[in-house]
Amino acid sequence: MSVLQVKDKLFEPYLTAEEINGQVQRLAAEINRDYEGKKPLFIAILNGSFMFASDLFKAIHIDAEICFIKLASYKGTKSTGQVITAIGLDTDIHDRHVIIVEDIVDTGKTLHEFLPQLHHQQPASLELAVLLHKPDATRFPVPLKYLGFSIPDKFVLGYGLDYDGLGRNIPEIYQLKENH
C-alpha cells in the first residue's frame, strides 16, 4: 500500500484489509452470541456500508435477514448537513430485533435524524453496528453498540467509502493526506 491519488486529493494507507477483517469478524461473533434465537433484521445504509454489510453478514451464522435503505448527506469531503432518504424502508420492523449497519459515524447527524423514525415503528430492539467512528467530529451522539474502529477526524476512503463516487472498490481504508 502506498500513497494514492483520487481526483485532486492524495490519500495514505490507514487500515489494511486484514485489520478490517479482524474487526468485522469480532463484531459478527458478538452479534452471533447476542442474537441467538432472535432472528435479527439487519438494515444496511447505502451506499457506503455495502462492503462492510456484505462481509459482516457473511460471518453471521444465526438466522438473520437483511434489507437496505439509502440515506445521503455528503458531497465531496464535506457533510452538507442535510440528510436525504433516497430509498426508504420496505420492511415492517414492528417487534423485530433491528441492527443498523453503517460505514461511518462522523457528525452523527445521519443516524440522529434516522433513529427516531425507526423507534416510532416500535422495534423489539434497535442497535447500531458501525465500522468507523470519528469521536472528535461527533456533534450528535448516538449509541454505538458494535463499533469497529475509533478514528481521527480525517476524511477516509476505500472499503465502500468514496470521494466523489470513487474509491469504493479499494479493499483497504485510506486517509486524506493534509497539507500537500
Residues in the site for ligand XMP, rule: CB under 6 A? 48, 73-74, 79, 102-110, 155-157, 161-162
For 41, what's the count of Cα atoms within 13 Å in the CB-facing half-sphere? 19
Taking the C-alpha atoms of residue 102 and residue 123, their distance in angstroms, rounded to an integer, is 18
Give min distance, CB of 133 to ligand XMP, in A: 9
Q: Does residue 106 interact with Mg ion by CB under 5 A?
A: no
Q: Which of 103, 128, 142, 170 binds Mg ion (CB under 5 A)?
A: 103
C-alpha cell at 88: 426508504
Residue 129's beta-bridge partner residues?
A: 101, 146
83 and 73 Cβ atoms separated by less than 8 Å = yes
| Strands 9-15 and 4-6, sheet pairing | antiparallel
With binding defined as CB under 5 A, does residue 55 bind Mg ion? no
Residues that contact Mg ion, how many (by CB under 5 A)? 2
Nearer to Mg ion, 41 or 100 (CB): 100
CA dihedral 112, 115, 116, 120 (to 10 degrees): 180
Residue 59 Cβ vs Mg ion, minimum distance, rounded to whole Å:
20
Smallest distance from Mg ion to CB 9, Å: 19
79 binds, among Mg ion, ligand XMP, none (CB under 5 to 8 A by kind): ligand XMP
User: Alpha-carbon distance 82 to 150, whole Å?
Assistant: 24
Given 34, 55, 63, 106, the catalytic residue: 106
Per the annotation, the verdict on 90 as an active-site residue is no
- Residue number with CB closer to ligand XMP (28 or 102): 102
The residue type found at 126 is: L
Q: Give me the residues that bind Mg ion (CB under 5 A), please.
A: 48, 103
Catalytic positions are 106
